[in-house]
Structure 1
């Protein structure tokens, strides 16, 4: 199986499930970046000292510990935000282990930063679009990430929006429409 397809398929679940609002998407991406950075820094020295068969179990233990610590920190910071993440924060540990077994952490820094940046742009973009379409608001739950700054956000419609956009099927539909739009925009016209 192609390495990129494994990494991309693992990122699809949080991309669809945790982008119902802008703050949930932004928070999960920040958690993803923090856990991946600490995992890469911690697993680097361990990898050289472990026999090949012990690398995956050690990676699982390290990734699970780091993700659990990040979830506990998120719960202490903002319980509402952490509850909206659901099980998607736990998938970060799985992403760490699979990306490590696919030599992600041995790739050059620009490639790693590009993938994390692209994932963050997709998460924040989907969260923004789904919140705008689904709730008719913008940054309505900013207090979840700021730790108490009580700002109601920008309400764009009085009666809300299209509720389907905030649900998982709406996320798949929106992602499909975005992919179709991207392909239509970059379609090469045949020269006759």
Structure 2
């Protein structure tokens, strides 16, 4: 899977729609739902369509699913829909990226692991931003530049925790 492209496309909803834990949980759940449904609906279509027909079907299906999601949010959760603003529409781009990054192979495990990582990062960002904004009275954490700084700190913490020692064959001889 082309992870740098997926990470780049996922940054806008991750940074913009995670001001609170509720918003972060909502965008994570919406992403899981729409991308999962897109993959599920495209599975039988991949076998019968090829080339531009498959691309056209994927674009239409992603647009359909995201439109249904936005209409559902406006009908049953208007305050949440207004808080999420344009970010649920960007899930359609993630659907297309998943479709063509994974290709014709049904790599459900790879897709599920990537989506689970995105959802957990959304929830971690939302929780941290809400805690820093409300309890630590750090207003910057609830703004977009603060989210970018916080993401950098979370990634640095992740790299520090997952730091591995180089194998002995890579170490120089003394």
Structure-2-length-normalised TM-score: 0.88
Distance 1:104 1:181 in 2: 32
Q: CA deviation at 1:115?
A: 1.1
Matches within 5 A, 1:84-95: 84-95=83-94
Q: More relative contact order in 1 or in 2 (CA 8 Å, sep 6+)?
A: 2
Q: What is residue 56 of structure 1 aligned with on the other side?
A: 55
Distance 1:59 1:33 in 2: 17
Given that 1:135 and 1:166 are in contact with CA atoms closer than 8 Å, whether structure 2 keeps it comes out as no
User: Which deviates more from structure 2 when the two are superposed, residues 115-124 or residues 179-188?
Assistant: 179-188
Given that 2:46 and 2:104 are in contact with CA atoms closer than 8 Å, whether structure 1 keeps it comes out as no
Distance 2:112 2:78 in 1: 29
Q: CA deviation at 1:187?
A: 3.7
CA offsets, 1:149-181, max 9 Å, x none?
xxxxxxxx7xxx211101110000101111222
Distance 2:103 2:76 in 1: 30
Q: What is residue 170 of structure 1 aligned with on the other side?
A: 146
Distance 2:103 2:144 in 1: 28
1:11 paired with 2:21, answer: no
Count of residues paired in the alignment? 168
Matches within 5 A, 1:29-44: 29-44=28-43
Structure-1-length-normalised TM-score: 0.80
**RMSD across aligned positions (CA):** 2.0
User: Which deviates more from structure 2 when the two are superposed, residues 97-106 or residues 113-122?
Assistant: 97-106
Q: More helix by proportion, 1 or 2?
A: 2
Q: What is residue 74 of structure 1 aligned with on the other side?
A: 73
Distance 1:186 1:65 in 2: 39
Given that 1:105 and 1:112 are in contact with CA atoms closer than 8 Å, whether structure 2 keeps it comes out as no
Q: Gaps spanning 5+ residues in structure 1: where?
A: 137-156
